[in-house]
Amino acid sequence: MRANDSAGAKAPAHEKNMVRELRTGILFTLVSMALLGGVYHGIVWAIGQVAFSEQAEGSLIRDAKRGVVGSRLIAQPFSRPEYFHPRPSAVNYDAAATGGANYGPSNPNHLTAVREQLSHLIAINHVPASQVPSDMVTASGAGLDPHISPDGADMQVARIATAREVSPARVRDLVQSHIERPTSGFLGRPRVNVLELNVALDAVLGLAPSRTPTRESTTQ
């Protein structure tokens, strides 16, 4: 047992203590950096490769014809009428430089952005403001929210049915089958994954007639 604390420690002993102290600190830093910065990551990586390889690579969605079309967890931009549109993104869906708008609730720029998005949604979907849910006019935290609320999807059904020249009921059925319920019935909110729903739209209803012919890779 040693008590390093005695007030009468002599200078040479103190210097020796200091050298030992520095040596211990440096060794601990290097050893634990190797274990936690290296080995630990290797273990988690290996578990991912063995048990959760899809998720470990980023939950990418592969399409037989089109290759990798996105990640089921990452929103992508949609502006064509035949697809469901995601929530607004402060970073224009840039999944390499993410972020929120960080507008405070009283910021005039924020309220202008909300008002513009609301007019846009009313114009393209021909619905009254009362049918627009708040998630569709506000930017998400990361700008990559892959989901919209079921109301946000319902609001777009008529537009998509018209663009694809199918009955609204078929589109609505597809939305219904894609609603994710709260986990165990109480955790989280009901939601629809926009990319998965759009992939299903293309798969079930075929590519929309309005699709531009320049997309040769996708129209074969």
User: Closer to other proteins at the Cβ: 3 or 123?
Assistant: 3
- State the minimum distance, in angstroms, from the CB of residue 88 to other proteins: 10
- With beta carbons less than 8 A apart as the criterion, state whether 206 and 162 touch: no
User: Closer to other proteins at the Cβ: 125 or 145?
Assistant: 145
Distance CA 157, CA 12 (A): 82
- State the minimum distance, in angstroms, from the CB of residue 165 to other proteins: 18
- State the minimum distance, in angstroms, from the CB of residue 136 to other proteins: 8
Distance CA 162, CA 133 (A): 22
DSSP state of 182: P
- With beta carbons less than 8 A apart as the criterion, state whether 169 and 111 touch: no
C-alpha dihedral, 158 to 163 to 166 to 169, nearest 10° = -20
* Residue 180 backbone phi and psi in degrees, to 5: -95, 125
Distance CA 142, CA 88 (A): 11
User: Closer to other proteins at the Cβ: 65 or 169?
Assistant: 65
- State the minimum distance, in angstroms, from the CB of residue 161 to other proteins: 18
User: Closer to other proteins at the Cβ: 27 or 169?
Assistant: 27
User: Closer to other proteins at the Cβ: 32 or 167?
Assistant: 32
- State the minimum distance, in angstroms, from the CB of residue 218 to other proteins: 7
206: left (phi over 0), alpha (psi -120 to 50) or beta: left
- State the minimum distance, in angstroms, from the CB of residue 53 to other proteins: 10
Report the run of H or E that residue 218 belongs to, with start and end. helix 216-219
User: Closer to other proteins at the Cβ: 11 or 187?
Assistant: 187
